[in-house]
Amino acid sequence: MPGEGEEPQAYDYNTVVLELKVECTVNSEADNRETDSLKKYHNAHVYAKDLVFKPYGQQVHEFAGEDAIGTTYPDILIAKLRPGQCIDLQAHAIKGIGSDHAKFCPVATASYRLLPSIEILRPIIGKDAENFAKCFPKGVIELESITREEASQHGSVYKGHEGEMKAVVKDAMRDTVSRECLRYDEFKGKVRLGRVRDHFIFSIESLGQWDSDELFLESVKILRLKCEALKRSLLNLAQ
């Protein structure tokens, strides 16, 4: 809130005002032996849903009815009160960007990694296939039965192994790159582990303002704009 003699900095186009007025009182109808504070007192717990949107200016029309601004998660606990305590506040919610302050950043955590590469160079069959699958997280390696067609092909490495199980790569993205299989002699020369250098896997956790996939797309747009700005600056320097 502005001090005495100060001009207000909040306007209907850049600020949302929320008010909270709540007081904890004794519930006269509660049993004297009651120990549950929620039954013993009124407003013992203050939740996000107790915040009241106070529209002003054009907000009265823009955010009316179903479009009224409210809390996304109404049951978040804000405070615990006891008789004689009250909260009377006015909160100003303003829109900003992460470069102004970290509190405006819509991203909680973000990371990336390269797609793991798993190449089976020589057949891994039978019991070895089962042990090989155990070296990876569930879903990375799958066991498949060797078909008659595979075993009967001329020069096939599966000749004489019809019906046995073989190890195949199902989903390399699930791999945590522990390289556990390289510890065992029976797999030496049969598998090559690496990473796909031009395949990036991004993990983005949103704070709620944006969906995670939208955050990635918007960040790419911003990065592109920064690259274009840098390019223009370099061209100006060269002139």
Assign 3-class secondary structure to 170-201: CCHHHCCCCCHHHHCHHHCCCEEEEEEEEEEE
Same domain, 39 and 66: yes
Confidence band (pLDDT; 50, 70, 90) for 180? Answer: very high
- Residue 127 belongs to a domain with what CATH number? 3.30.1360.10
Q: Which domain holds residue 35?
A: 15-94
- 66-70, 81-85, 149-153: which has the highest mean pLDDT? 81-85
Read off the CATH number of the domain in which 38 is found.
2.170.120.12
pLDDT in tens, 136-148: 999 999 999 999 9
Q: Is the pLDDT of residue 8 over 80?
A: no
194 and 131: one domain? yes
> How many domains would you assign to the chain?
3
Determine which helix (DSSP H) or strand (DSSP E) holds 2, and give its type and residue range: none
Radius of gyration of the chain (CA): 31
- pTM for the full predicted model: 0.60
Q: What is the largest CA-CA distance in the chain?
A: 94
